[in-house]
A and B are shown apart, each in its own frame.
Chain A
Amino acid sequence: MDDTIFLLLAQDGITNGAIYTLLALALVMVFAVTRIIFIPQGEFLAWGGLTMAALEAGSFPGIAWILLGTGAIAFAMDLYDAGRRAGRGRSAAHLARSAAWNLGYPAVLAGVVWVLPLGALPLAVKAALTLALVVPLGPMVYRIAFQPVAEASVLVLLIVAVALHLAMIGVGLLIFGPEGSRTSPFSDAMLDVGTMQIGGHTLAVIAASAALIAGLYLFFGRTLLGKALRATAVNRDGARLMGISPAFAGRLTFLLAAFIGTLSGLLFAPLTTVYYDSGFLVGLKGFVAAIIGGLGSYPLAAAGAVMVGLLESFSSFWTSAFKDVLVFTLIIPVLLWRSIASHHVEEDE
Chain B
Amino acid sequence: MKVHQRLALAAVGLTAALAAGPAAADITIGVIASLTGPAAALGAETRKAVALFPPTIGGEKVNVILLDDATDPTSAVRNVRKLISEDKVDALLGPNLISTATAMADVANAEGVPMVSVAPLDVTGDKRTFVFRSEPSADLMVQRIVEDMVANGAKTVGFIGFSDSWGDLLLKALTRLTDGKIRIVATERYGRTDPSVQAQALKVIAAKPDVVFIGASGTPAAMPQITLRERGYKGRIYQSHGVTSKEFLRVGGKAVEGAVLPVGPVLVAEQLPDSHPAKATGTAFVKELEAKNGADTRSTFAGASWDAWLIVQNAMAAALKDKIQPGTPAFRTAVRDHIERTDKLVGTNGVYSISGADHAGYDPSAIVLVTVKDNQWRLLK
A interface residues with partner B (beta carbon < 8 Å) = 5, 8-9, 12, 15-16, 19, 170, 173, 177-182, 268, 271-273, 275, 277-278, 281-282, 313-314, 316-317, 320-321, 323-324
Given contacts A8-B198, A179-B219, 8 further A-B contacts (CB under 8 A): A8-B202, A16-B196, A271-B195, A272-B193, A272-B194, A273-B222, A317-B203, A321-B189
What chain A residues lie within 8 Å of B219 (beta carbons)? Answer: 179-180, 273, 275
- The smallest beta-carbon distance between A196 and chain B, in angstroms, is 12
**Which of B21-29, B40-48, B259-267, B310-318 has 4 or more CB atoms under 8 Å from chain A?**
B40-48
Quick check: A313 and B191 within 8 Å, CB to CB?
A: no
Given contacts A9-B199, A180-B251, A316-B200, contact A324 B44 (CB under 8 A): no
Which of A15, A179, A317, A323 contacts B191, CB < 8 Å?
A: A323
Label chain A's interface by main secondary structure.
helix
A95 CA / B202 CA spacing, docked (Å): 58
* B199 near A321: Cβ-Cβ < 8 Å: no
Residue B345 CB within 8 A of the other chain = no
Residue of A nearest to B43 (CB): A178
CA distance A9 to B203 in the complex (A): 11
Contact A313 B251 (CB under 8 A): no
A1 to chain B, nearest CB (A): 9
Find the residue from B44, B199, B245 having the highest chain A CB count within 10 A: B199
Contacts of B38 in A (CB 8 A): 277
Closest approach, in angstroms, between the C-beta of B141 and any C-beta of chain A?
Answer: 22
For residue B224, give the distance in angstroms from its CB to the closest CB of chain A: 11
Residues in A with CB closer than 8 Å to B192 are 275
Interface string of B189-226 (1 = CB under 8 A from A): 11111111111101100100000000000111011000
Complex CA distance for A342 and B203, rounded to whole angstroms? 41
Contact indicator A282/B195 (Cβ below 8 Å):
yes
Residue of B nearest to A316 (CB): B199
Question: Taking CB as reference atom, which chain B residue is nearest A313?
Answer: B199
- Given the complex of chains A and B, what is the CA–CA distance between A177 and B251 in angstroms? 14
* Residues on the B chain within 8 Å of A180, using CB: 219-220, 247, 251
A-B residue pair count with CB separations less than 8 angstroms? 90
Residue from B191, B197, B199, B206 in contact with A324 in the complex, judged by beta carbons closer than 8 Å: B191
Contacting pair A272 B251 (CB below 8 A)? no
B195 with A272: CB separation less than 8 A: yes
**Whose C-beta in chain B lies nearest to the C-beta of A20?**
B195
Instruction: Give the distance in Å from the alpha carbon of A313 to the alpha carbon of B247 in the complex.
Output: 27
For the complex, what is the distance from the CA of A8 to the CA of B202, rounded to whole Å? 9
Q: Let me know if B36 is at the binding interface, CB within 8 A.
A: yes
- A320 and B251 within 8 A (CB): no
What CA separation (Å) do A324 and B189 show in the bound complex? Answer: 11
> Nearest Cβ in chain B — how far from A190, in angstroms?
10
In the bound complex, do residue B195 and residue A317 qualify as a contact, i.e. CB atoms below 8 Å apart? Answer: no
The verdict on A320 contacting B188 (CB below 8 Å), with A5-B202, A273-B251, A277-B38 known, is: yes
Using CB atoms, name the residue of chain B closest to A170: B36
Q: How far is the CB of A231 from chain B (nearest CB, A)?
A: 36
Q: Which residues of A contact B36 (CB under 8 A)?
A: 170, 173, 178
A178-B41 in contact given A314-B199, A316-B199, A320-B199 (Cβ < 8 Å): yes
By a CB distance below 8 angstroms, the chain B residues around A182 are 251
A144 CA / B223 CA spacing, docked (Å): 38
- Assembled-state Cα–Cα distance A48/B41 (Å): 20
Q: Could you tell me the distance in whole angstroms from the C-beta of B163 to the nearest C-beta in chain A?
A: 5
Mask, B174-188, CB within 8 Å of A = 1, is 000000000000001
A19 to B195, CA, bound (A): 10
Which residues of B are found within 8 Å of A317, using beta-carbon distances?
Answer: 199-200, 202-203
> Which residue of chain B has the shortest Cβ distance to A184 in the bound complex?
B253
**Residue numbers in B under 8 Å from A19 (CB-CB):** 195
Which of B163, B193, B196 is the one whose CB lies under 8 Å from A12?
A: B196
- The answer, among B37, B197, B251, for a CB contact under 8 Å with A316, is B197
Chain B residues near A275 (CB-CB < 8 A): 192-193, 219
Q: Is the CB of B220 within 8 A of A320?
A: no
- Minimum C-beta distance from A116 to chain B (A): 23
Please determine whether A9 and B202 come into contact, CB atoms closer than 8 angstroms. Answer: yes
With a cutoff of 8 Å between Cβ atoms, the chain B residues found around residue A277 in the complex are 37-38, 193
Residues of B near A273 (CB, < 8 A) are: 219-220, 222-223, 251
Q: Bound state CA distance, A272 and B203, in angstroms? A: 19
* Chain B residue nearest to A275 in the complex (CB): B193
What are the residues of chain A within 8 A of B220 when measuring CB–CB?
180, 273
Cα–Cα, bound, A278→B189 (Å): 18
- Chain B residues with Cβ below 8 Å from A181 are 251
The 7 closest A-B pairs by CB, nearest first: A178-B40, A317-B199, A316-B199, A321-B189, A178-B41, A179-B247, A12-B198
- What's the nearest-Cβ distance from chain A to residue B336, in Å? 33
Contacts of A313 in B (CB 8 A): 196, 198-199
Chain A residues with Cβ under 8 A from B247's Cβ? 179-180
| Chain B, 108-128, CB within 8 A of any chain A CB | none
Across-interface contacts of B223 in A (CB, < 8 A): 272-273
Residues of chain A contacted by B193 (CB below 8 angstroms)? 272, 275, 277-278, 281-282
Q: Scan B131-156; emit 1 where CB is below 8 A from any A CB, else 0.
A: 00000000000000000000000000
Within 8 A of A (CB), among B21-80: 36-38, 40-41, 43-44
CB distance from B165 to the nearest CB of A (A): 13
Q: How far in angstroms is the closest Cβ of chain A from B159?
A: 11
Q: Kindly state the separation between the CA atoms of A275 and B195 in the bound complex, as whole angstroms.
A: 11
A314, B41: Cα distance in complex, Å: 31
Please name all residues of chain B whose beta carbon is closer than 8 Å to the beta carbon of A321 when the two chains form the complex: 163, 189
Q: What are 29 A-B pairs with beta-carbon distances under 8 A?
A: A8-B198, A9-B198, A9-B199, A12-B196, A15-B196, A16-B195, A177-B44, A178-B43, A179-B41, A179-B218, A179-B245, A180-B251, A181-B251, A268-B195, A271-B195, A272-B196, A273-B219, A273-B220, A277-B193, A282-B193, A313-B198, A316-B190, A316-B200, A317-B200, A317-B202, A320-B163, A320-B203, A323-B190, A324-B191
* Bound complex: CA A275 to CA B198 (Å): 20
